[in-house]
Structure 1
Amino acid sequence: MRRIADRLSVQFRVPIEPQYDQAGHRWTLRWYDGPTVAAVRCALERLFPAEERLAVRRDLTTRALALAAIRETRAGAMHRSVGSWGQRYHLEQQLADREHPDRPADPREAAMLERLLAAASAAAGRGAAGPDLARAFDLVARDGIAWLLPEPSLAGPADPDGLALAPLEFLTSRYATGVHRTAWETALATLPLRTAVAAAHQDPEADPDAARAALTLLPALRARASAELDAVEARLAAVAAGGCRDDSCGSVSTPILPAHERSR
C-alpha cells in the first residue's frame, strides 16, 4: 500500500498517505487539496488495475476553503444565514471538481487570501492552532472582500501585478455610494465608466490620483460617446431620408446625455 501511495504522491506532487480503518477493514488513501478524487481514482485504475478498489479521500485545508469563500463572496453566493457549517458544505461541493483549490489565481488574490487568514488568526486569539475558519466565513459574509485588497493606491506603469487599483477600480473605491458601494465591497463591481469620470470631475477636492485615473479613462469614454453619436446620426439620417418605416431603423437605447442633464 505504501508503494501505491508513494507512486501517486510522485505523480501528483502532493503527499498521499495510506490509512487503515480497523473497523471497516480497508485501506484509504488520503491527501490535502491537490488533485481531485476523480483524478486519483483514474490514476489508480490505470497504474494498478489488479488492485482491489481502494477508498480515496481528499480533505480541504483552511487555506483552500478561505480562498473559496473569497471567490464565492465575489460571486454573491456566501450567506451568513446558513451558518459556518452550511457555508463549509457549500464550498466543499463547489471545490469537488477543482484541482489545487488552495492556489490563488494571481498575486492580488494571493494577497487578499493572506489578509483574510491573518484577520481570522487574530480573531482566534493567542494560542490558537491557526486561522478560525468560521471567523473567516463571517468576515467576508459580513464585510465583503474590498477590504482585503492589498493597496488602495492607483496602479501605475510599474505595477503590473494587479496589487494596486486600476483607474476604474480606484474611482469606484473613492466615489461609489449606495448600491454601487455595496456592489464594490462585496463583488469588486466597478462604477459605470461615465459615472466614475463624472464623479472625479465634479469633486471639488479631487486629488491628483483621482484626476489621473479619470484622465486615463477619458479615451475609452470618448470612444463610447463617439460610437453612440454615430449610431444616433445614422438613424436620424435614415429617418430624414424617409428610409425608416415601422421602426425598421430600430431605436437608440443609450442616452447621449447623463441622467442629471436629461432631467433639466
Structure 2
Amino acid sequence: MAAPKNRSARIQNLVRDLSLKFGLEQHIRAEYDARRRSWSFEWTDGPTADQVRRAAKRIDKEAAAEIAQVHRHYTAQAQALGAIRMRLAGRKLPPYSPYGAELAVDEFLQQVPNPAVPKGEREKALLARLLDEATPTPEPDIGEQPRRTYPDGRKACELIAKKGIVWLLTPPESAGPQQAAVPLTPLEQLTVRYARGDAFAAWQDRLTPMPAAAAFAAVLADPDAPPSVTQAALDLLPELHAALDQGAQELRRRLD
C-alpha cells in the first residue's frame, strides 16, 4: 500500500528542507513501510541522527511523527577519519576482526556531525595517507586500462586497529620524491629521537609527544645531537619559558 498522497507530499517537502538545511549533496532518502505505515530516512555522512530528528520536528512536527527510523551511512573517508580520531583519543580498535573495528568506528561516529570533514592540515595529511593505503591496487583486464578503485572504509579501520597510527606520518614506499612525510613539530622531532618507555608508547599509540622539559634535557645530555636536533631544542625555549613563568606565578600565589 502506498503512502497517502498528502502525507507523501509533506514528507518529500520535509526531505527537501532537511537536505537544504544541512547542505547535503545527495538528498535524504525517504522510504515508506506500508505494513507499519511509517517512514524511514537514510542519508550518508552529514548530520547525526539526533540532529535530523530535532530539525524535522522544528520544520514539520506532524510529518516528523511519522518517521519511525533514521539511519546514517558512512563513506570510507568518514570511517577512516573516525578511526584516526579514535586512536588519537587513546581508544584502541579490535585488532583481530575487520568487522569489529568497523563497528567500533561506526559507533564512535554516531554523535559526530559531518564525520568526513577533516580539521586542519595534520588531519588532512593523516587521512590522505590512510585512504591511499586502504585503496586496493587495480588489476587490469587483458588489453584494458586498469579500472579505477576506491578506498575501503573497513580496510582503513582494520589498518588502524592492527598498525596503530604513527606510520601515517611517513609517505608510502611507492611515493615519489615530491611526496614528503607529514611535517613534525620541533617537540615531535625530539620525541621520535628520545622517547622511551611510556613516552614512546604514548607517541606510537596516539602521537602524544614527550614533555618539552624532558625533550630539552635529553638534547642537553646528548653530545652527538646533530644541528637539526639542537635547533629543535632551541625552538622549545619560548614554550619552556612560558611554563616556568606560569609555575613561578603559582608558587608566588602560594606564598601570598
Report matched runs for 1:54-69 at 5 Å: 54=67, 55-69=69-83
- Alignment partner, residue 166 of structure 1: 185
- Alignment partner, residue 135 of structure 2: 121
Conservation of the 8 A alpha-carbon contact between 1:36 and 1:58: yes
Separation in structure 1 between the aligned mates of residue 149 and residue 36 of structure 2, nearest angstrom:
31
Kindly provide the CA deviation profile for residues 82-131 of structure 1, in whole angstroms up to 9, marking residues without a partner as x: 62222222222222222111111211111111110101114x65457522
Q: Secondary structure at the match of 1:121?
A: coil
One-letter amino acid of the counterpart of residue 53, structure 2? R
Q: Secondary structure at the match of 1:66?
A: helix
Separation in structure 2 between the aligned mates of residue 197 and residue 189 of structure 1, nearest angstrom:
16
Cα displacement (A) at 1:173: 1.8
Separation in structure 1 between the aligned mates of residue 250 and residue 22 of structure 2, nearest angstrom:
55
- Alignment partner, residue 261 of structure 1: none
- Alignment partner, residue 239 of structure 1: none
Distance change in 2, residues 1:79/1:37 (3 Å): closer
One-letter amino acid of the counterpart of residue 137, structure 1? C
Conservation of the 8 A alpha-carbon contact between 2:93 and 2:104: no
One-letter amino acid of the counterpart of residue 33, structure 1? D
- Alignment partner, residue 208 of structure 1: 227
- Alignment partner, residue 151 of structure 2: 131
Conservation of the 8 A alpha-carbon contact between 1:111 and 1:150: no
Aligned mate of 2:102, from 88, 112, 119: 88
- Alignment partner, residue 43 of structure 2: 31
- Alignment partner, residue 238 of structure 1: none
Cα displacement (A) at 1:223: 6.2
One-letter amino acid of the counterpart of residue 135, structure 2? S
Distance change in 2, residues 1:168/1:125 (3 Å): same
- Alignment partner, residue 187 of structure 1: 206
Conservation of the 8 A alpha-carbon contact between 2:101 and 2:161: no
Q: Secondary structure at the match of 1:189?
A: coil
* Aligned-pair identity (%): 35
Separation in structure 1 between the aligned mates of residue 249 and residue 74 of structure 2, nearest angstrom:
54
Kindly provide the CA deviation profile for residues 129-168 of structure 1, in whole angstroms up to 9, marking residues without a partner as x: 52233332232223222222368xxxxxxxxxxx632221
Distance change in 2, residues 1:80/1:94 (3 Å): closer
| Structure 1: tracts of 5 or more residues without a match | 152-162, 235-248, 250-264
Cα displacement (A) at 1:70: 0.6
Separation in structure 2 between the aligned mates of residue 147 and residue 231 of structure 1, nearest angstrom:
39
Kindly provide the CA deviation profile for residues 223-263 of structure 1, in whole angstroms up to 9, marking residues without a partner as x: 6568879999x9xxxxxxxxxxxxxx9xxxxxxxxxxxxxx
Separation in structure 2 between the aligned mates of residue 79 and residue 35 of structure 1, nearest angstrom:
24
Number of aligned pairs?
A: 223
Separation in structure 1 between the aligned mates of residue 247 and residue 62 of structure 2, nearest angstrom:
67
Q: Secondary structure at the match of 1:135?
A: helix
Report matched runs for 1:135-154 at 5 Å: 135-149=155-169
State TM-score, norm by structure 1.
0.71
Separation in structure 2 between the aligned mates of residue 6 and residue 221 of structure 1, nearest angstrom:
54
Q: Secondary structure at the match of 1:80?
A: coil
Q: Secondary structure at the match of 1:131?
A: coil
One-letter amino acid of the counterpart of residue 53, structure 1? E
Cα displacement (A) at 1:49: 2.4
State TM-score, norm by structure 2.
0.73
Distance change in 2, residues 1:21/1:115 (3 Å): farther
Aligned mate of 2:66, from 25, 30, 53: 53
- Alignment partner, residue 217 of structure 1: 236
Kindly provide the CA deviation profile for residues 153-199 of structure 1, in whole angstroms up to 9, marking residues without a partner as x: xxxxxxxxxx6322211211232234322211211111122321233
| Structure 2: tracts of 5 or more residues without a match | 1-10, 140-146, 172-181
Q: Which has the larger radius of gyration?
A: 1
Root-mean-square deviation (CA, aligned residues, Å) is: 3.1
Q: Greater relative contact order (Cα 8 A, min sep 6): structure 1 or 2?
A: 2
Distance change in 2, residues 1:88/1:138 (3 Å): closer
Aligned mate of 1:102, from 90, 113, 116: 116
Separation in structure 2 between the aligned mates of residue 5 and residue 218 of structure 1, nearest angstrom:
55
